[in-house]
Amino acid sequence: MNGGNRNYQKELDKIIDGLIKTGTRPKLLMHTCCAPCSSYCLKYLSEYFDITVYYYNPNITEEAEYRMRTKEQKRLIDIYNEELSMDIKFVEGEYDRELFLSKVKGYEACKEGGDRCKICFELRLDKAGAYAKNHGFDFFTTSLTISPLKNAPLLNSIGEEVGSKYDVRFLPSDFKKKEGYKQSIELSKEYGLYRQNYCGCVYSKNEMLSRQKGNDNE
């Protein structure tokens, strides 16, 4: 899976230009990982798509953390719908921590960004693709590409493979472009969103704590 030198933002721009020219407004299922990452993505794409948020994150292995992030995602959608007159819908996928843990068994010691993360991306995007196919969406995508710590070519490659599997188009993205990540930070501050300091799983949390401990000892 290698995106080579593809510019996913330009590919997205081309699709949006086509929508503007034809006056069409497709149904988009957006997998989101958290409110802060989705803040820019939703604001950006809601101008061109009818969006349903698909919140599927069994990788968040601490239930209290999962509930906090879910609550914040719903709160952000409510703010956008009420204050900005958007019409974003919300669907919560099954919260099955054991499924995630079984999928990454044997990869617990991988560094963040390695094979364990690839398995996690595949799990979440496969569920999103299946939901998009079963519920008549024109496109599906993920907010994950906004993070500077996430591999956008890998995510797009997985998304396209899932799209081929379920015969539904994956919307290419690299949402960190056009200062998307910077704007997500600003929007998080504006709306007082809870910003977590690790991706979600217990392994990424332990890696974060280890880094913090190392910094404290310097």
SS (H, E, C) the chain: CCCCCCCHHHHHHHHHHHHHHHCCCCEEEEEECCHHHHHHHHHHHCCCCEEEEEECCCCCCCHHHHHHHHHHHHHHHHHHHHHCCCCCEEEECCCCHHHHHHHCCCCCCCCCCCHHHHHHHHHHHHHHHHHHHHCCCCEEEEHHHHCCCCCHHHHHHHHHHHHHHHCCEECCCCCCCCCHHHHHHHHHHHHCCCCCCCCCCHHHHHHHHHHHHHHHCC
User: Scanning the structure block, which residue is given the tokens 């061109």?
Assistant: 48
Q: What pLDDT does 3 receive?
A: 58
Q: Calculate the average pLDDT of the chain.
A: 95
Cα–Cα distance measured from residue 150 to residue 148, given in angstroms and rounded to the nearest whole number: 6
Percentage, residues of the chain above pLDDT 70? 96
The mean pLDDT of 58-87, rounded to a whole number, is 97
More confident site: 3 or 81: 81
Contact 142, 33 (CB under 8 A): yes
Identity at 18, one-letter amino acid code:
G
Q: What pLDDT does 105 receive?
A: 97
Domain boundaries, the chain: 8-216
CATH code assigned to 8-216: 3.40.50.620
Q: What pLDDT does 202 receive?
A: 94
User: Scanning the structure block, which residue is given the tokens 């989101």?
Assistant: 32
Closest alpha carbon to 128 in 65, 46, 204, 58: 58
pLDDT band at 218 (very low <50, low <70, confident <90, very high): low
Q: What pLDDT does 213 receive?
A: 75
Q: What pLDDT does 85 receive?
A: 96
pLDDT digits (tens, 9 = 90+) for 1-12: 455 689 999 999
At residue 215, does pLDDT exceed 70? no
pLDDT band at 212 (very low <50, low <70, confident <90, very high): confident
Q: Is the model's pTM score more than 0.85?
A: yes
Q: What pLDDT does 210 receive?
A: 85
pLDDT digits (tens, 9 = 90+) for 133-150: 999 999 999 999 999 999
pLDDT digits (tens, 9 = 90+) for 107-143: 999 999 999 999 999 999 999 999 999 999 999 999 9
